[in-house]
């Protein structure tokens, strides 16, 4: 393996593996690779998780609707992965129950492989699915992935179950199944932190500008996006995990003429004031063949999404358009007793799925499975397409199964069940951790302690240190965000701006006003 320290100021630093992109796939690969004994450097041109990996629906899920596309390999892998990941990060992920109301107006996409088979053998269904067929799909979902922690599917009578109270009276029957929640952008940062703790170099606000292969080594030029300063690093292998920019890196940075392409599919979400009082989610099947979720979010809100829209260029910042927001309001209003209107919307966000272009006819039908393409023009380069937050760890293992033999690294997978930073406690241990934290730090109220444990797990104690009063944590920025926490985020979690803190490391942006965010930004700019 290569020494990762430069010999003198003239010799560029040399590493085994250079990763472009600090989304979930880049950070997951960097962590896995460094744990196999490789020297690793990762660059991210903005903040970690600043693109797709902070804009997901935030589910560790098998993907119930992919059963319609017979994507059994993907669904099975993701179902198994839910519980593996839950065990490794019980602070930032947790089980959730999903209520799927059943009714006769539900229509499934006519273009799915399942629809095509059914229109041959049961033409009278015309896009509908009888209750027994949905039950069968959920049976498969329950059993395909060896569920141990998560409870099984059950039927609900919406006339008596509290989940039925907010729904229109025509919904009398539902199924309730399990999946999990994950704080997506925290997952990315924790992977980066763990990679760094194991020896990787993580450089944010650093863009990969060019990569050329000379004498079997990549010469990668990077640019600090704040100062414009350029640096060259040499690497034995390159990973292109640039998400929506994967094709730009292939053609613009590496200068390859590989034929693979990416299909950019925008997905938008709206966040409304809280629409219901229980902690379960809704899975709504539309009359247009699409589905959306309505999920309890950040205590006081409901998250509704997503859409599927073609997106032209990665450089066009994805935004949730008014027509997408209206579509989501109308879709949800078809289910809730009280219509959801644009006035209920307090925040919107949007992200771009970097899907492998498999020539599918519609954005909804394009495969969500990941595709890894290894090229070897003198030295290996691995291009990453697609993938899910849920399958990032398996994607990293797959990437390493291609790269480890070429780099002489360990071929033994090691990440399953290894705790993420702050996640070194029992999978059902969150309540005990919150209780113990409140005992040691009596000035914390339940909401504050819960937020700290759900964000930092066992690391919450390091942030609070020997404080005996809230004042000991320094300046307050509103919503129980203190100087001690912001300093931790700057020193240990790569946060540089208020935006990093309030929209990615936390979601406190929902609880702070504009003036508070501006003053946090000013404080961070001057912090030493």
- Contacts with ligand FAD by CB under 6 A lie at 20-26, 43-46, 50-53, 55-59, 61, 207-208, 241-245, 249, 253, 267, 306, 351-354, 387-390
Residue with smaller CB distance to ligand FAD, 24 or 517: 24
Residue with smaller CB distance to ligand FAD, 312 or 515: 312
Cβ contacts of 231 within 8 Å, gap of 6 or more: 12, 221, 222, 223, 224
Report the nearest approach of ligand FAD to the CB of residue 345 (Å).
16
Cα(399)–Cα(410) distance, integer angstroms: 13
Residue with smaller CB distance to ligand FAD, 43 or 512: 43
Cα(443)–Cα(449) distance, integer angstroms: 10
Cα(50)–Cα(500) distance, integer angstroms: 8
Neighbours of 289 (CB within 10 A): 20
Residue with smaller CB distance to ligand FAD, 102 or 356: 356
Report the nearest approach of ligand FAD to the CB of residue 222 (Å).
7
Residue with smaller CB distance to ligand FAD, 158 or 241: 241
Tokens of 410: 């360990």
Cα(99)–Cα(109) distance, integer angstroms: 20
| Displacement of CA 470 from its chain's centroid (Å) | 32
SS3 187: helix
Residue with smaller CB distance to ligand FAD, 62 or 164: 62
Cα(365)–Cα(3) distance, integer angstroms: 45
Report the nearest approach of ligand FAD to the CB of residue 354 (Å).
6
Residue with smaller CB distance to ligand FAD, 261 or 474: 261
Report the nearest approach of ligand FAD to the CB of residue 264 (Å).
9
Distance in angstroms between the alpha carbons of the first and the last residue of the chain: 37
Report the nearest approach of ligand FAD to the CB of residue 63 (Å).
8
Report the nearest approach of ligand FAD to the CB of residue 524 (Å).
20
Cα(399)–Cα(407) distance, integer angstroms: 12
Residue with smaller CB distance to ligand FAD, 163 or 320: 320
Instruction: Please report, for residues 45, 493, 500, the alpha-carbon distance to residue 506 in angstroms, rounded to integers and kept in the order given.
Output: 20, 11, 8
Question: How is 168-186 classified by DSSP, letter by letter?
Answer: -TT--EEEEEEEEEE-HHH
Tokens 């951790």 belong to residue: 433
Residue with smaller CB distance to ligand FAD, 237 or 433: 237
Nearest one of 148, 119, 153 to 134, comparing CA atoms: 153
Report the nearest approach of ligand FAD to the CB of residue 440 (Å).
35
Name the residue number minimizing CB distance to ligand FAD: 23
Question: How is 195-250 classified by DSSP, letter by letter?
Answer: HHHTT-EEE-SEEEEEEEEETTEEEEEEEETTT--EEEEEEEEEEE--GGGHHHII
Cα(518)–Cα(236) distance, integer angstroms: 43
Residue with smaller CB distance to ligand FAD, 183 or 516: 183
Judge whether 218 and 407 are in contact, CB under 8 Å. Answer: no
Judge whether 404 and 376 are in contact, CB under 8 Å. Answer: no
SS3 24: helix
Report the nearest approach of ligand FAD to the CB of residue 179 (Å).
9
Report the nearest approach of ligand FAD to the CB of residue 501 (Å).
17
Report the nearest approach of ligand FAD to the CB of residue 315 (Å).
10
Residue with smaller CB distance to ligand FAD, 55 or 502: 55
Q: At what angle do helices 392-407 and 24-34 cross, to 10 degrees?
A: 50
Count helices and strands in the chain by DSSP H and E runs: 14, 18
Report the nearest approach of ligand FAD to the CB of residue 527 (Å).
24
Report the nearest approach of ligand FAD to the CB of residue 496 (Å).
14
Tokens 């390999």 belong to residue: 73
Residue with smaller CB distance to ligand FAD, 82 or 129: 82
């Amino acid at each position: 393996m290569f020494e990762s320290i430069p010999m003198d100021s003239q010799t560029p630093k040399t590493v085994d593996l250079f990763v472009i992109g600090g989304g979930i796939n880049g950070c997951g690969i960097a962590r896995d690779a460094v744990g196999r004994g490789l020297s690793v450097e990762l660059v991210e041109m903005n903040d970690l998780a600043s693109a797709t990996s902070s804009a997901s629906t935030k589910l560790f899920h098998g993907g119930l609707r992919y059963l319609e596309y017979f994507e059994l390999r993907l669904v099975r892998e993701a179902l198994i992965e839910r519980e593996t990941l839950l065990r490794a990060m019980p602070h930032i992920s947790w089980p959730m129950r999903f209520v799927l109301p059943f009714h006769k107006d539900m229509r499934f996409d006519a273009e799915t492989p399942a629809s095509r088979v059914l229109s041959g053998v049961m033409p009278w269904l015309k896009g509908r699915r009888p209750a027994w067929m949905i039950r069968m799909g959920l049976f498969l979902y329950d059993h395909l992935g060896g569920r141990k922690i998560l409870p099984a599917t059950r039927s609900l009578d919406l006339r008596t179950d509290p989940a039925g109270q907010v729904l229109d009276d025509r919904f009398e029957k539902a199924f309730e199944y399990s999946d999990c929640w994950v704080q997506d952008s925290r997952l990315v940062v924790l992977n980066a932190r763990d990679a760094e703790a194991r020896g990787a170099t993580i450089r944010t606000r650093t863009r990969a500008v060019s990569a050329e292969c000379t004498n079997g080594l990549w010469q990668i030029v990077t640019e600090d996006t704040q100062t414009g300063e350029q640096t060259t690093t040499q690497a034995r292998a390159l990973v292109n995990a640039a998400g929506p920019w994967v094709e730009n890196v292939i053609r613009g940075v590496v200068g390859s003429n590989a034929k693979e392409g990416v299909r950019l599919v925008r997905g938008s979400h709206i966040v409304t004031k809280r629409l219901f009082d229980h902690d379960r989610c809704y899975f709504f099947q539309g009359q247009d063949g699409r589905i959306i979720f309505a999920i309890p979010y950040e205590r006081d809100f409901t998250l509704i999404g997503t859409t599927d829209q073609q997106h032209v260029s990665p450089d066009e910042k994805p935004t949730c358009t008014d027509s997408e927001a209206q579509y989501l309001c109308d879709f949800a209003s078809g289910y809730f007793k009280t219509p959801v209107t644009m006035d209920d919307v307090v925040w919107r966000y949007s992200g771009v799925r970097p899907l492998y272009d498999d020539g599918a006819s519609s954005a909804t039908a394009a495969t969500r499975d990941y595709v890894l393409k290894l090229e070897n023009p003198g030295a290996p380069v691995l291009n990453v397409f697609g993938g899910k937050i849920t399958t990032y760890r398996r994607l990293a293992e797959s990437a390493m199964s291609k790269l480890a033999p070429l780099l002489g690294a360990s071929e033994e997978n090691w990440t399953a069940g290894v705790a993420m930073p702050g996640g070194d406690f029992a999978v059902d241990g969150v309540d005990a951790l919150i209780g113990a934290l409140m005992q040691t730090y009596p000035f914390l109220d339940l909401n504050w302690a819960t937020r700290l444990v759900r964000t930092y797990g066992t690391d919450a104690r390091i942030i609070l240190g020997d404080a005996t009063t809230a004042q000991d944590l320094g300046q307050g920025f509103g919503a129980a965000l203190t100087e001690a926490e912001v300093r931790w985020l700057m020193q240990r979690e790569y946060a540089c701006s208020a935006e990093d803190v309030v929209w990615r490391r936390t979601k406190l942006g929902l609880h702070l006003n504009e003036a508070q965010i501006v003053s946090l930004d000013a404080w961070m700019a001057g912090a030493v």
